[in-house]
A = this chain, B = another copy of it.
Amino acid sequence: MKLHKLLVLMAATVMSLSLSAHTLRSPQGVLQLNVELNQKGTPVYELYRGEQTVLRPSSLGIEIKGGKHFTEGFEIDTVTYSTFDEEWTPVWGEQATIRNHYNEMAVQLFQPATKRTMVLRFRLYDDGLGFRYEFPYQSKLSYFIITDEKTQFALTGDHTACWVPGDSYTQEYVINKTRLSEIRGKIASMSFNPTYNYLFSPTGVMTALQLITDEGLYLNIHEAALVDYACMHLDVDDKNWVLTSYLTSNARGEKCHMQAPCHTPWRSIIVADNACDVLASNLTLNLNEPCAYDDTSWIRPIKYVGVWWEMIVGKSAWSYTRELNNIHLDNVDYTKLKPHGRHGATTAHVKEYIDFAAAHNIDAVLVEGWNVGWEDWFGKEKEYVFDFQTPYPDFDIDEVNRYAKSKGVQMIMHHETSASIRNYERHIHKAYELMNRYGYPAVKSGYVGNIRPVGEHHYGQWMVNHYLWCVTEAAKYKIMVNAHEAVRPTGLCRTYPNLIGNESARGMEYEAFGGTPADHTTLLPFTRLMGGPMDFTPGIFEMDISKANPNNKNRVHSTLARQLALYVTMSSPLQMAADLIENYERFPDAFRFIEQVALDWQQSIYLEAEPGDYVTVARKEKGGERWFVGCSVDERGHTAEFPLSFLDKGVKYKATIYADAPDAHFLENPQAYTITSRTVTSRTKFSQLCAPGGGFAVIIEKL
């Protein structure tokens, strides 16, 4: 292995670009990019960090239908350099202001055989590179169909990778941390469902892909601003360590319908010499366009509880009846059907959640299963599966909303589409109107199941278009969107900040579906979260799921203290306190943390991190003086040690520490936690033991 790698590196040196290449340096000179055409007229780029090669010569190109590919035969027409430096203010997020500072090189290519022009635009930051293909308005190119994008990332060796399989259906996988060379074997050992899963390659993976080189570089490959284009996966050449882009197909095997002037999303790679800097990078957001909305006053972070976990664990049900073996939605009178008695979303039960929210500083209540159709929502590829309008007989939508309003609590709407896209689009305006009528500020939408129309996939261009359309239509109604099972985010929340959440990864629910390894929440920040916040739904206090449903023997792979930490380690403007009320009432002191934790941040400081091991971050609330620190660790446990130098100097603070008890263990003793207070200052060296599968959460307030 070692010898092999050495040879590859030598080859890389030989293949290195000539001095005639066009070169771009990042603002501080940390990164250097070279771009040139090879002998075939194919554009090739390489990336260095100081003396270290990040990417060996990597070719770029796009293949199109019925025409000469944009892969070779190019001449360089012009190379234009520019620089950009600004601070911008996100509506919500990990930082109150973000600096966007890059040097840019636009390489205009001309293909004499077709008289067509393509521009490669590179933006080089000190912490990474973004580039995209652009097709300007021109006489010889208007409409074209992309059949393949051949963007290479030629790595320097068999890096360690944090990855999930490259599926067109779901991202809800356990995140693997292996060598690139181990991906093939790992995927081969996994079981997939041929009805749903579609893997494009035996070595295909999704982005964001976190890589760690043996030399200690942390690389993170993703895309930014995925708009009206197919989602990019990566095909791993596990002999030569070259990653090549793969785009999700439509029913005809094509990838993207394009119309010049147009461009691809940004392909991005974050480069850092430590893991914290990867998490702190704003590259993905910076590569997105500024906010598209004039008025964003209606976009507000939300903390919520809901009628949800009880269905996930199997204590109650989304559905209302078992009397029929199928439901014709346009021809059913639920009031004449015998209820099965396990329906969760009843008026009385929802009021309990409203009462709880009102008593505990929780903004809102989500209710799933409020609307008719849940009896046969899944696996039927049913077209007219929901109407998003009609409540079950035992859910009095008028009364629920009246009651919530009287308690100062908001309601969160739920639209499961069952991936029947036309049906959702046909009903969406009336559904949004209903939300406006009652004052619902946000909707959780879902896309479970195979896409209807068949032939389209969750991550193809047609669906990418749909997800964003729902968000921009929602904005017309001042509605925030939290879309589950949608394509993983790519920083679009900068442009469309009413996209306040996505799932698009394995969330807490899988703890009730079979379980998730304890290191999962130390890997998510390096993968799924690179593109935007996740509605992970933390806050489970009862790890033994059989206590809620004796038939469900699963358990949550976490200590209780770590559940609190997740509100900090996985930043999101939308945070659920996901557990049952009864479990929160058993641990009111621990729940105090969830009540208090902020949702929006002035500043975030990643204190220590190693993908798959631990993540520790301190965040200062926006509009306040409190700091919150969270730490989530893997099954081996960890002692976090860091200075509190981020605190104001000369000021005394009270730190309230929600930690694992010394005998805590995510499997054996997960509910053993301690809550302690101490005085700290900017000079305090903080140290805290985390149990296996544990973590801690801290509130630091000025005394």
Contact = CB atoms under 8 A, between A and B. Distances in A.
Interface string A248-282: 00111010010111000000000000000000000
A28 interface: no
A321 to B, nearest CB: 14
Contacts of A455: 250-252, 453-456
A383 B381 CA distance: 24
Nearest to A451: B453
Nearest to A328: B259
A139 B324 CA distance: 9
A250 B383 CA distance: 14
A240 interface: no
A328 B259 CA distance: 8
A469 B381 contact: no
Copies of chain A in the complex: 2
Contacts of A251: 251-252, 453-456
Interface in A137-170: 137, 139, 142-143, 145
A254 B429 CA distance: 31
Contacts of A465: 383
A426 interface: yes
A335 interface: no
A326 interface: yes
A333 interface: no
Contacts of A142: 325-326, 376, 380
A462 B252 CA distance: 17
A252 B137 CA distance: 36
A425 B422 CA distance: 8
A351 interface: no
B382 A254 contact: no
Interface string A436-480: 000000000000000001111000001001000100000000000
A147 to B, nearest CB: 13
Contacts of A260: 326
B425 A259 contact: no
A382 B383 CA distance: 24
A425 B465 CA distance: 15
A324 B141 CA distance: 11
A138 to B, nearest CB: 8
Contacts of A425: 422, 425-426
Contacts of A380: 142-143, 259
A462 B453 contact: yes
Interface in A381-414: 381-383
A562 B142 CA distance: 45
Nearest to A421: B422
Contact of A325 (B139, B145, B328, B469): B139
Given A142-B325, A422-B425, A383 B257 contact: yes
Given A251-B454, A453-B250, A455-B251, A259 B469 contact: no
A448 to B, nearest CB: 16
Interface in A177-205: none
Contact of A143 (B145, B326, B462): B326
A695 to B, nearest CB: 45
A15 to B, nearest CB: 39
Contact of A454 (B137, B139, B254, B426): B254
A94 to B, nearest CB: 32
Contacts of A381: 143, 145, 257
Contacts of A383: 257, 465
A454 B326 contact: no
Nearest to A142: B326
Contacts of A326: 142-143, 259-260
Query: Residue among A259, A328, A383, A454 with the most chain B CB within 10 A?
Result: A454
A422 B463 CA distance: 11
Contacts of A139: 325
Contacts of A254: 454
Interface string A314-326: 0000000000111
Query: Residue among A324, A382, A455 with the most chain B CB within 10 A?
Result: A455
A309 to B, nearest CB: 29
A288 to B, nearest CB: 18
Nearest to A260: B326
A342 to B, nearest CB: 21
A110 to B, nearest CB: 18
A26 to B, nearest CB: 32
B250 A454 contact: yes
A137 B462 CA distance: 35
Given A137-B325, A251-B454, A257-B383, 5 more contacts: A142-B376, A251-B251, A422-B425, A422-B462, A426-B469
Q: Name the 8 nearest CB pairs between A and B, nearest first.
A: A251-B455, A251-B251, A455-B455, A142-B326, A143-B380, A252-B454, A142-B325, A251-B454
30 contacts: A137-B325, A139-B325, A142-B380, A143-B326, A143-B376, A143-B381, A143-B382, A145-B381, A250-B454, A250-B455, A251-B251, A251-B252, A251-B456, A252-B454, A252-B455, A254-B454, A257-B382, A257-B383, A259-B326, A259-B328, A259-B380, A260-B326, A261-B328, A383-B465, A422-B422, A425-B426, A453-B453, A453-B455, A453-B456, A454-B455
